[in-house]
Amino acid sequence: MPTVFSHPAPVLALGALLAGRGLSARMLLFGVCCAVLPDADVLGFRLGVSYGDVLGHRGFSHSLVFAGLMGLAGAAFAPLLRGGRLTGFCMGFFGVASHILLDAMTSGGLGVAAFWPFDPSRRFFGWRPIRVSPLDLHAFLSRRGADVLLSELRWVWLPCLALIAGVRLFRKARR
């Protein structure tokens, strides 16, 4: 999985592209939380839930069904998030869906159960350039953790920044 530092990048890029177009800070924060939330499933390890279980890491919380549920939560709480219901749905869904996408592009683990409950198998993309982050803090604070962060800079942050720059240049040229 990418780190908690990089999962918000696609949502933050979307927020940068929508700046000045009515996206509230609360709605953006909701999207960021949705982008990080699926990895709360690692708490199950301490409760005896195994990695490969439906409730295990990269199981239900990494499915498009879960993304839809978070979208519905965003729509339901849209007034509190200072936004429209469609925006709330989209931010919740996009936050989780971007998490699924990034995890499916990592170099390790069991894959993601993106299509659960229709297909319980765990899958990766054929192209997996993002180094998988260690779950252990000690391993993360080692050379391996630095390699993961460099991989995320290259394959997550730089493409998001390039997208922002490209869209802004396009908008400027169109004016």
The DSSP annotation for the chain comes to ---TTTTTHHHHHHHHHTTTTT--HHHHHHHHHHHHGGGGGGHHHHTT--TTSTTSTTSGGGSHHHHHHHHHHHHHTTTTTTS-HHHHHHHHHHHHHHHHHHHHTBSSSS-B-TTTTT----B--S---BPPPPSSHHHHTSHHHHHHHHHHIIIIIHHHHHHHHHHHHHHHHH-
The pLDDT of residue 2? 84
| pTM, entire model | 0.93
* pLDDT at position 1: 67
| pLDDT one-digit tens code per residue, 35-64 | 999 999 989 988 999 888 998 999 999 999
The two structure tokens encoding residue 164? 């922002």
Give pLDDT, residue 136: 79
Q: Which residues of the chain have pLDDT under 50?
A: none
Q: What is the pLDDT of residue 60?
A: 96
Note the maximum CA span of the chain.
57
Phi, psi dihedrals of residue 106, rounded to the nearest 5°: -90, 165
